[in-house]
Amino acid sequence: MKIGIGNDHSALDLKAEIIEFLEHMGHQVIDYGTNSSESCDYPIYGEKVAHAVADKEVDCGILICGTGLGISLAANKVKGVRAAVCSEPFTAKMAKQHNNCNILAFGARVVGAELAKMMVDAWLNTEFQGGRHQHRVNLIMDIENRENSR
Ligand code: RB5
C-alpha cells in the first residue's frame, strides 16, 4: 500500500519508527512532514495528509501529534476523510472494521512505539465489514454533504 504520514514537532522520533515499521512490511510511505523539531502548527500537516487521502495520492494516512487530537480534528475537516484517534489496538481495528476510517491518528505523548505499531498493524490488516456498517458510514458522509451546502 501507499501510505501518507504527517506529524508535528512532538512526533519526529515516533514517526521515524513507524516509517521503518511500514517499510519493513513492504509499504511505500510518503512523508508530508514536518521533519523539523521546531514548534509548528499541526493543522498544516493534518490537512496535507487529508488532501493526499481524499485525492487518492495515497491509499490511506497516518497522523501523529502530541495527543493525536488536533491533527485528526484538522484532517476531519477535509471532505471524504474519516480520521480516528486511537490509543490501543482494539479501537484501531474497529476504526477500519466498522467505520472504514481512512486515517489513523495517535499521540506521541500518549502511546509508545510498540503500542503504536500494534495499532498500525491492526488497522492496516483489518477489512471494512460493509453491510450495516456501510449504511452508517454513508450516514456520516451525508452529514458532511449537508453541512457543505448549509
Ligand atoms: C503541541 O504542543 C500539541 O498541542 C500538539 O502536538 C497536539 O497534541 C494537539 O492536539
Nearest CA to ligand 1 atom 6: 66
d(CA 106, CA 71): 9
Q: Is 33 exposed, middle or buried (0-12, 13-18, 19+ CB in 10 A)?
A: middle
Place of cell 511505500: 28
Q: What is the pLDDT of residue 148?
A: 85
What is this structure's pTM? 0.98
Q: What's the mean pLDDT when you consider all of the chain?
A: 98
Nearest CA to ligand 1 atom 10: 70
Q: What is the pLDDT of residue 91?
A: 99
**Which residues does a 6 A CB cutoff place in the pocket of ligand 1?**
8, 10, 42, 65-67, 69-70
How far the first Cα of the chain sits from its last, in Å, is: 36
24-72 confidence digits (pLDDT tens): 999 999 999 999 999 999 999 999 999 999 999 999 999 999 999 999 9
Cα(70) to ligand 1 centroid in Å equals 6
Catalytic residue positions, numbered: 65, 98
110-124 confidence digits (pLDDT tens): 999 999 999 999 999
